[in-house]
Amino acid sequence: MTKRRVQIVEVGPRDGLQNEKTLVATADKIALVGMLADAGLCRIEATAFVSPRWVPQMADHDAMLRNLPRRAGVVHSALVPNEKGAQAALAAGAQALAVFTAASETFSQKNTNCTITEGIARFEPVLALARQAGVPVRAYVSCALDCPYEGEIAPHVVADVCARLHGIGCDEIAVSDTIGRGTPQRTARMVEATSRMVPVAQLAGHFHDTYGRAIDNVAAAWSLGVGIFDGAVGGLGGCPYAPGAGGNLATEALVVHFEALGIETGIDMAVLQNIAFWVRSLASIDAGSRNRHEVTPA
């Protein structure tokens, strides 16, 4: 039997930094992406072409992406909410795009000021531009387990949103536990429902680690065939429009988990640990996946 492979997607420069109040220097962000590539990460979500009024930390998206040193075998992606973002990201050299919606209407409104259906409609021109440019498109589905405003989300609701995204041509769908409240049992039910609608090879797991359960959720998704997982170096991160969103699962934890299973990740832990140490010294960053506590939604 051939050994299964895992793909680790680094989202630290985008999801890890977007919630930091103190602006991180563009040069430091560029250095971070370079160091992550040195560590062996091949897919790096570098920035977000979203409204700078909504997420000020990502306002330097253009300068950042344009000045990233290109490296063979390393794909720099950009998060985009609409055609305007896609145009700018591709012009700046994005090698992959990521769109985002949610399995919760309230979260969709809070995060993107539109309904789920309106959000998905905005992805059609993004996909057309991506096809022209020959770049792949990932779609995130936030609140795939819980919503900070609506509570638990039923698996069939998540599966339905994923099916719609797959239907319009998204290449990969990242089911996302935005606030880290998921459990392995509920992750399994959500992945089972979703993988009936979308080939499991096109699913990715994006688990925030607020309550220390992200790695167990990874294990649950892996046992059902998911082979792509997101991490942020040092466990950085959170979403500005998700009260209670703790950091992402640390990329280091993913590497340790899979290497212990005998699955090579190609990532150098020593280099990664140095990056985690360095990135925490930047600006006000004191992140660690589990050092933030949930607050009552506004």
User: Does 231 engage in binding with ligand HMG (CB under 6 A)?
Assistant: no
Q: Which of 113, 115, 223, 284 binds ligand HMG (CB under 6 A)?
A: 113
Q: In 10 A of CB 171, how many CB atoms?
A: 16
Per-residue contact string for residues 195-214; x = within reach of ligand HMG by CB under 6 A = -----------x-x------
DSSP 248: B
Residue 12 is which amino acid?
G
Question: Is the sign of the CA dihedral 24, 27, 29, 31 positive or negative?
Answer: negative
Q: Where would I find the H helices in 198-250?
A: 214-223
List, by residue number, the catalytic residues. Answer: 239
Q: Is 229 in the site for ligand HMG (CB under 6 A)?
A: no
> Nearest 5 degrees, angle CA 250-CA 260-CA 6?
65
d(CA 18, CA 41): 20
Q: Does 251 bind ligand HMG (CB under 6 A)?
A: no
Of 10, 9, 48, 6, nearest to 32 by C-alpha is: 10
Query: Binding mask 134-153 vs ligand HMG (x if CB under 6 A, - otherwise)?
Result: ------x-x-----------
Looking at beta carbons only, is 178 or 187 nearer to ligand HMG? 178
From 80, 78, 4, 16, select the one nearest 43 (Cα to Cα): 78
Q: Which of 123, 222, 229, 241 binds ligand HMG (CB under 6 A)?
A: 241
113 binds, options Mg ion, ligand HMG, none, Cβ within 5 to 8 A by partner type: ligand HMG
Structure tokens at 189: 């039910």
Contact residues for Mg ion, defined by CB under 5 A: 15
Q: Please state the closest distance from residue 167 (CB atom) to Mg ion, in A.
A: 23
By CB under 6 A, which span of 21-29, 79-87, 221-229, 264-272 interacts with ligand HMG?
79-87
Residue 36 corresponds to which tokens in the numbers above?
A: 């992550």
> Under the criterion CB under 6 A, does residue 49 sit at the interface with ligand HMG?
yes
251 interacts with, out of ligand HMG, Mg ion, none, CB within 5 to 8 A per kind: none
Nearer to Mg ion, 129 or 210 (CB): 210
Considering only residues 55, 159, 165, 255, which one is a binding residue for ligand HMG as defined by CB under 6 A?
Answer: 55
Quick one: how far is CA 196 from the chain centroid?
A: 22
Binding status of residue 87 toward ligand HMG by CB under 6 A: no
Bridge partners of residue 204, in order along the sequence: 174
Structure-derived torsion over alpha carbons of residues 157, 162, 163, 166, reported in degrees to the nearest 10: 170
Which residues contact ligand HMG by CB under 6 A? 15, 18, 48-51, 54-55, 80-82, 84-85, 100, 111-113, 140, 142, 176, 178, 206, 208, 239-241
